[in-house]
Amino acid sequence: MFQHARLKLTAWYILIALIIAFLFSLLSYNGLRFEFEQGLQRQRVYFQQGFMRPNGPPVTILRRTDPELMREMRTHLLLRILYIDGAIILVSAIGGYLLAGRTLKPIQRMVEEQNRFITDASHELRTPLTSLRSELEASLLSKKLSEKEARDVLKSNLEEVISLQMLSDNLLELATQQKPFNQVSFGEINLLEVIEGSVKKILPIAKKKNIHIKNNVKSSQIIGERSYLIELFIILLDNAIKYSDSQSTITLTSSSKDKMVTVAVKDEGIGIKKVDQAKIFERFYRSDKSRTKWKTKGYGLGLAIAKQIVTDHHGTIHVKSEVGKGTTFTVSLPTK
């Protein structure tokens, strides 16, 4: 599809160049022909007046007539213009093809990303929907379904519905993050208050796993949107809790340098392999079985949302991890 569009766009570039070259050639031809005719006319007048060359005999006749010179001049001029036009068309074709490729590349990347997103989302939706359908069909086919079995089916179906709702919420959140961010009002906010707000919301989940959250973040002023930044650190803390053992500690620290403040979220969990670290911020990406075997619920959208929030705040996010020793996410944001 894009190759066809590229060739079509190249053809338009060539057509535009051809029109410009034709108009330029027409003007050049008429202008040069007029100058040549004027030169012949002046020469004719000089000859008629008995013009004499310096240190030479008088020139009284022309060896060739004016029409012959004009025909030769026109032929020579037309050939030159055709050569130039051919070179212009060739350069336009090569340049237009390259330019069309560069013009369509961002669109192609966007379409490929959209198609991949739709495919991944469809795949993720298929699993809980298939599970729901299978359980319901099995229950309907059963002639002797006890009350306990019916309740178990309803409980299982409810879990799948909650899972689907979670996926829907994450997709909506990701779509919101991809809207023009200049519509969001940035302001001066306190980083410590943002972290404390995130810890407060995630604390009940940490307590269920007996995980201690240690907040060593210092107070500092940053530029951003409070609710989005709270969501950012909730995602990072939730991710740390999911892949940490009970009785472990999650530590938050901060440092400032060159008008940037860096917050580190360090856990003592199972870690992430190096091969996965470059991909964990991609949508729907979940690392290998060493992490998925924990049976954590999620669709691999949280870190993609976190990445988008950081990017919209003109910051950076990095991960450093070692398998079996824990993971540290570092977020750098501009200060006041």
When pLDDT is averaged across residues 33-42 and rounded to a whole number, the result is: 68
In terms of domains, do 165 and 200 share one?
A: no
Instruction: Give 181-227 pLDDT, tens digit per residue.
Output: 445 678 899 999 999 999 998 898 899 889 999 999 999 999 888 88
Choose the final residue of a domain: 66, 89, 112. 112
Strands 212-216 and 221-224 come out as unpaired
What local confidence, expressed as pLDDT, does residue 79 receive?
Answer: 80
- CB contact set of 128 (below 8 Å; sequence gap of 6+): 160, 161, 163, 164, 167
What local confidence, expressed as pLDDT, does residue 119 receive?
Answer: 65
What local confidence, expressed as pLDDT, does residue 112 receive?
Answer: 72
pLDDT at 58 over 60: no
Look at 37 and 260; give whichever has higher pLDDT: 260
In terms of domains, do 199 and 137 share one?
A: no
pLDDT at 274 over 50: yes
- CB contact set of 132 (below 8 Å; sequence gap of 6+): 157, 160, 161
The CATH number of residue 278's host domain is: 3.30.565.10
pLDDT at 179 over 70: no
In terms of domains, do 35 and 127 share one?
A: no
Look at 288 and 215; give whichever has higher pLDDT: 215
When pLDDT is averaged across residues 225-248 and rounded to a whole number, the result is: 89
What local confidence, expressed as pLDDT, does residue 290 receive?
Answer: 44
In terms of domains, do 251 and 131 share one?
A: no
What local confidence, expressed as pLDDT, does residue 124 receive?
Answer: 61
Tell me which residue range forms the domain holding 251. 185-334
What local confidence, expressed as pLDDT, does residue 294 receive?
Answer: 44
- CB contact set of 281 (below 8 Å; sequence gap of 6+): 303, 304, 306, 307, 317
Mean pLDDT of the chain: 78
Instruction: Give 292-335 pLDDT, tens digit per residue.
Output: 444 455 556 778 888 888 988 899 999 999 888 899 999 999 98
What local confidence, expressed as pLDDT, does residue 14 receive?
Answer: 80
What local confidence, expressed as pLDDT, does residue 63 receive?
Answer: 46
Contact status, residue 181 vs residue 215, Cβ threshold 8 Å = no
What local confidence, expressed as pLDDT, does residue 315 receive?
Answer: 92
What local confidence, expressed as pLDDT, does residue 327 receive?
Answer: 93
In terms of domains, do 24 and 44 share one?
A: yes
When pLDDT is averaged across residues 239-254 and rounded to a whole number, the result is: 91
In terms of domains, do 107 and 121 share one?
A: no
Q: How many residues does the chain have?
A: 336
Contact status, residue 334 vs residue 222, Cβ threshold 8 Å = yes
What local confidence, expressed as pLDDT, does residue 123 receive?
Answer: 61
What local confidence, expressed as pLDDT, does residue 61 receive?
Answer: 46
Look at 250 and 63; give whichever has higher pLDDT: 250
Nearest by Cα to 181 from 118, 210, 133, 223: 223
What local confidence, expressed as pLDDT, does residue 196 receive?
Answer: 93
In terms of domains, do 201 and 165 share one?
A: no
In terms of domains, do 313 and 245 share one?
A: yes
In terms of domains, do 75 and 122 share one?
A: no
In terms of domains, do 232 and 283 share one?
A: yes
d(CA 103, CA 230): 38
In terms of domains, do 106 and 215 share one?
A: no
Domains contained in the chain, number: 3
pLDDT at 29 over 80: no
When pLDDT is averaged across residues 167-187 and rounded to a whole number, the result is: 63
Q: What is the pTM of this model?
A: 0.56
When pLDDT is averaged across residues 60-89 and rounded to a whole number, the result is: 69
pLDDT bucket at 10, cuts 50 / 70 / 90 = confident
Choose the final residue of a domain: 112, 141, 162. 112
Choose the final residue of a domain: 177, 201, 216. 177
When pLDDT is averaged across residues 40-69 and rounded to a whole number, the result is: 56
In terms of domains, do 218 and 79 share one?
A: no
